Structure 1
Amino acid sequence: MISNPVFQVIAAFFAIAGFSIVIEVPKKFLVYSGFVGAVGWAVYLMFLDKYGIMVATFFGGMAIALISHIFARIFKAPVTIFLIPGILVIVPGAGMYRTVYQIFLGEQGLAADYLLQTIQMAGMIALAIFAMDSVFSILQNKKWKSRRRLPYFWIK
Structure 2
Amino acid sequence: MSELFLPCVYAFVACFAFCFVVNIRGRMLLFAPLGASLGWLVYIAAAPAASELLCYFFATLAVSIYAEIMARLHRAPATGFLLVGLLPLVPGGGIYYTMEYCISGDTAMFLETGLHTFGIAGSLALGVLVVSSIVRFYSVVRRHLRQKAGLPPA
TM-score for both structures, normalised by structure 2: 0.91
- Counterpart CA distance in 2 for 1:19 and 1:49 is 29
1:18 maps to what in 2?
17
Aligned residues: 150
- Counterpart CA distance in 2 for 1:21 and 1:45 is 26
- Counterpart CA distance in 2 for 1:150 and 1:46 is 44
- Counterpart CA distance in 2 for 1:150 and 1:31 is 39
Cα drift, residue 150 of structure 1: 6.3
Letter in 1 for 2:91: P
Structure 1 ranges of 4+ moved more than 3 A: none
The 5 A counterparts of 1:64-103 are 64-103=63-102
Identity of aligned residues (%): 26
2:39 maps to what in 1?
40
Letter in 2 for 1:130: L
Q: CA RMSD in A?
A: 1.8
- Counterpart CA distance in 1 for 2:103 and 2:39 is 33
Letter in 1 for 2:72: R
| Structure 2: 5+ residue stretches without partners | none
State the structure with more CA Rg.
Answer: 1
- Counterpart CA distance in 1 for 2:91 and 2:46 is 16
Cα drift, residue 83 of structure 1: 0.5
> Are 1:146 and 2:136 counterparts?
no
| Structure 1: 5+ residue stretches without partners | 152-156
Cα drift, residue 123 of structure 1: 0.7
Cα drift, residue 147 of structure 1: 1.2
